[in-house]
């Protein structure tokens, strides 16, 4: 029968704080990446339409 070392209250609070900071940081970076991805997709879509529009007009006789 082995005796496990006890975790002090201060250590428990520290572990909880570090866990909360890590979760918030990951969620924040994920949200920013998701928002930037949508914005970049819109910008590239508009750029593709802008590049394609003059070619479409020139193709008609």
Looking at residue 4, its pLDDT comes to: 80
Instruction: Specify the higher pLDDT residue, 18 or 60.
Output: 18
Looking at residue 53, its pLDDT comes to: 75
**Both tokens assigned to 4:** 């496990």
**CA–CA gap between residue 17 and residue 38 (Å, rounded):** 32
Its pTM surpasses 0.75: no
Q: Is 57 a residue whose pLDDT tops 80?
A: no
Across residues 11-28, what is the average pLDDT?
A: 97
First to last CA, the chain: 91
């Amino acid at each position: 029968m082995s005796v496990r070392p006890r975790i002090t209250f201060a250590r428990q609070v520290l572990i909880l704080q570090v866990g909360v900071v890590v979760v918030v940081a990951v969620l924040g970076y994920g949200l920013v990446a998701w928002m930037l991805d949508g914005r970049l997709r819109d910008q590239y879509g508009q750029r593709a339409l802008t590049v394609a529009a003059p070619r479409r007009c020139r193709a008609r006789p």
